[in-house]
Structure 1
């Protein structure tokens, strides 16, 4: 399980980096750093549980329920971070849209978890299909109404949003693909391989994505293109 400890190390490094950036925010609201810090801290704690042998149930195939506990919080926080980028220069945070994003995300993960636990093949794929549909709804919200909101910002912020949204969309498509190819689906890949790929994907999706998002915002501030002023 060395890859799980590798993940914990990556989350620790990410949290320390974001703490350092938080001390020198360069005009980026501190709330964005706090969200970025919370993601690797929460995720690292649950992967520590898995590295120590917990957070899983064994049946026809091992189900790492701790992953779903991790994803439910961290994926929601990633959507919060993306929404903050989309509304950085605007007076409102559009809580209704954010609630729709987070709620659909939770429904997607719950569907995947129930599918993992279901022994009946048809019921499993039905739940997997429902979760995939929820993912498509999340992507539609990101590229529909949230993108329209982001477009009302200066060009630099809008382009930053588009880059962050594109990266998150591509990375998140990898999760149902791994689920389908792994022991929960057609079993083309073994449990150990899927676990390792989940680790790599999750490192990039959480710490890597936050580095890109915050890094772009910090660069805009350095060039004087980011509206100044911290938000609580």
Structure 2
């Protein structure tokens, strides 16, 4: 498929995802409205970023390669929202949220995204240096997800920990794909062609944005349903 078709497909998936989360919010099943708002905002913002690409905007040529800076505009907003959503899942049963931990996640994530953008706009060894900075920031994000944030979920019960582990595992695997695609694509060693990179940067984000929110919200909705049945039985 052509790049335009992939971008149009992506926008369609984002629109459908947003409509799904709006529909779910009408029957929240005990999940806070803020969770549905975040889940809806992610595909709306991301779809708008890709609309810019579809209209021929959001790109610049650097060292003979096309840098899609619209993707970074997308990621700078959607990835902090995804991490916030994951952290709120871990804190689902806590009246007082740990905003310091959420802030640490977001800051590390923005360092990762910013380093990736600078790497894409750099040439020579500077590109490698900035890419490695982004990788370090990414490892910090992963350490927070699977360390202190996961501990909060575990402290609230095995059932919530199960929901968190599924959501965190789903997101982590897909996020590992991002720097891998970048490194193998035209911005890295060039093992992947531009059309293949474009396709992967449609498939993976659809799964990591809409797919993650479906997994996460479905888990929380199911959790509330089980709690409701237990309460009714008592």
Query: 2 CA distance for matches of 1:132 and 1:20?
Result: 37
Matched position secondary structure for 2:227: coil
Aligned length: 227
The answer on 1:80 being equivalent to 2:80 is: no
Residue 19 of structure 1 is matched in structure 2 by 22
Q: 1:100 corresponds to which residue?
A: 104
Does residue 221 of structure 1 match 2:234?
Answer: no
Please give the root-mean-square deviation of Cα atoms over the aligned residues, in Å: 1.4
- The corresponding residue for 1:64 is 68
Distance 1:112 1:175 in 2: 10
| Aligned pair partner of 1:212 in 197, 211, 215 | 215
Equivalent pair of 1:220/1:226 in contact (CA under 8 Å): no
Query: Does 2:127 align with 1:124?
Result: yes
Does the CA-based 8 Å contact 1:112-1:131 persist in structure 2?
yes
> Which residue among 67, 90, 93 is the counterpart of 2:94?
90
CA distance in 2, matches of 1:138, 1:119: 26
Judge conservation of contact 1:89–1:227 (CA < 8 Å) in 2. no
Give TM-score, length-normalised by structure 1. 0.95
Q: Distance in 1 between matches of 2:229 and 2:5?
A: 41
- Greater per-residue helix proportion: 2
Give the superposition deviation at 1:106.
Answer: 0.3
Gaps of at least 5 residues in structure 2 are none
TM-score, scaled relative to structure 2: 0.94
Higher relative contact order (CA 8 A, sep 6+): 1
Corresponding position of 1:151: 154
Distance in 2 (alpha carbons) for counterparts of 1:11 and 1:227: 36
